[in-house]
Chains A and B, each alone.
Chain A
Amino acid sequence: MTEPVIRVHDVSKFFSLHKHKSLKERLVNRGRDTAYVDEFWALKDITFDVEPSTTLGLIGHNGSGKSTLLKIIGGILAPSTGYTERRGRLAALLELGAGFHGDLSGRENVYLNASILGLTRAQTDQYFDAIVDFSGIEEFIDTQVKFYSSGMYVRLAFAVAIHVDPEVLLIDEVLAVGDEPFQRKCLEKIRDFQREGRTIVMVTHGLDQVRQLCDRAILLEHGKILIDGDPIDVIRTFREKYEQDFSSNVGEAADPEKARPAEIVSVTVTSPDGSALRRIDPGDPVTIDVKVSARHPLPEWTVGIAIANQFENHVYGVNTQMAKVDLGPLNGTSTVRFAIPEVPLAEGQYFITAAVHPPRGAEWHRVDRAAYFKVYSPANQDGVVYLRPEIEVVTG
Chain B
Amino acid sequence: MATADSFQNVPAVDGRSHSHLERISARPAFFSGFGKSIADIWQFRELLGNLVSKELKVRYKESVLGFMWTLVRPLMQLLVYSVAIGVFLGSGRVIPQFGVYLFTGLLAWTLFTDIVGGCTGSIVGNAGLVKKVYFPRELFPLSVVGAAVVNFFLQVIVLLGAYLVTGSWPRLSNLLLVPLALLVLVVFATAIGMLLGAANVFLRDVQHLVEIGLLLWFWMTPIVYDWTKVRTELAGTADAPKATAWLFDLYMANPMANVVLAFQRALWPGGLTEKGAAFYYGGNLWLRLLVCLAASAVLLFVSQRVFARAQGNFAQEL
Residues of A within 8 A of B (CB): 2-5, 7, 15, 17, 21-24, 26, 51-53, 71-72, 74-79, 83-88, 90, 92, 94-95, 98-99, 101, 103-104, 108, 111-112, 115-118, 120-121, 126-127, 129-130, 133-134, 163, 165, 167, 192, 196-199
Contact = CB atoms under 8 A, between A and B. Distances in A.
26 contacts: A2-B15, A3-B20, A4-B21, A5-B15, A15-B316, A22-B203, A22-B204, A26-B203, A52-B14, A78-B313, A79-B25, A83-B24, A86-B24, A92-B132, A103-B61, A103-B62, A104-B54, A111-B50, A112-B54, A126-B6, A127-B6, A129-B6, A130-B3, A165-B10, A167-B15, A197-B13
A23 B204 CA distance: 8
Contact of A165 (B1, B2, B11): B11
B27 interface: yes
A77 B134 CA distance: 9
Given A86-B21, A196-B13, 15 more contacts: A15-B316, A52-B15, A85-B21, A86-B22, A87-B22, A88-B17, A98-B129, A98-B132, A103-B58, A112-B54, A116-B50, A127-B9, A129-B2, A196-B12, A197-B12
A5 B14 CA distance: 12
B23 A85 contact: yes
Interface string B118-161: 00000000001111111100000000000000000000000000
A167 B10 contact: no
B17 A87 contact: yes
Contacts of A23: 203, 205
B46 interface: yes
A74 B12 CA distance: 22
Contact of A76 (B47, B62, B133): B133
Contacts of B25: 72, 75, 77-79, 83-84
A85 B57 contact: no
B50 A112 contact: yes
A87 B24 CA distance: 9
Contact of A83 (B26, B133, B315): B26
Nearest to B9: A126
Nearest to A23: B205
Nearest to B43: A118
Interface residues of B, number: 48
B241 interface: no
B137 to A, nearest CB: 10
B212 to A, nearest CB: 13
Instruction: Give 9 closest A-B pairs by Cβ, nearest first.
Output: A52-B15, A78-B312, A130-B6, A98-B132, A197-B14, A78-B25, A85-B21, A23-B205, A103-B61
A112 B49 CA distance: 10
B129 A99 contact: yes
A260 B161 CA distance: 88
Contacts of A99: 128-129, 133
A2 B12 CA distance: 17
B166 interface: no
A83 B312 CA distance: 12
A117 B6 CA distance: 18
Given A85-B22, A127-B6, A104 B58 contact: yes
A118 B135 CA distance: 9
B32 interface: no
Contacts of B135: 116, 118
A197 B15 contact: yes
B88 interface: no
Contacts of B31: none
A71 B21 contact: no
A85 B25 CA distance: 9
